[in-house]
Each structure stands twice: as structure tokens, then as C-alpha cells.
Amino acid sequence: MGNITGRQKCYALLSLIGLVLTWYFNIQFMRQSEGFFDLSAFMQGAFANPASSSLSTDLTIAVIAFVIWMVPEAKRLGMKNWWVYIALTFGVAFAFAFPVFLYVREGKLNETTD
């Protein structure tokens, strides 16, 4: 892999921010839920009012579009372990997984142009 591009640096920063901020709020939620992740309560909160419902629906559609695009794109570029990005999306955060995928993808694209 060649030099890290400015775009990759941006993706790396976004993935770090996506990890830290989403988990900051997840930890706050778990503290309110007596120390565990209550999925039912989380989903109720995600659709508690029109604003949260709008954001949750927006995120859901973006995740579906990402997965539909990401799988063939990763296969096209010969990216191994493409399924990890799906696991990261649902296990960590979309705001983390998507920029990580873009970081790795950018590196793969740079390999083909070197």
C-alpha cells in the first residue's frame, strides 16, 4: 500500500469520531438502563418522537443502501473479509463502519493505480 491519501486521513478521522460519539451516547443509554443494553428500550427511543423517527428512518435507509452497494464493490476490488463491515455496522456503529470501509477501499483503489 502506498502513501495514505488526504481522503484516507479524512475517513480515518470520521471513523474515529463516529466510534467515539456513538459509543458515548450508547454508554449514556446503558447507564440509564441499569448498566446493560436494552434493545427494546433503545428501539422505543429511536422512534420516540417525529425527530428521532426521522433520523432513525434516514439511518436505516442509508445502512441498507450501504450494504447493497458495499458487498459487490468489495468483491469487485478483491477486498477480503467484506462481511466484517456488515458486522461493524450492526455491532459497533454505521458511523464507524462506513468510513472504515471507505478508508480501506481508497487504499485498494490506490494499489490499482500505483
- Which of 93, 92, 101, 97 minimizes the C-alpha distance to 74? 101
pLDDT in tens, 53-97: 999 999 999 999 999 999 999 999 999 999 999 999 999 999 999
pLDDT at 20 over 70: yes
Tell the residue number behind the cell numbers 436494552, with chain if given.
Answer: 38
Distances (CA, A) of 71 to 1, 2, 46, 61: 22, 24, 27, 16
Q: Where are the domains of the chain?
A: 6-113
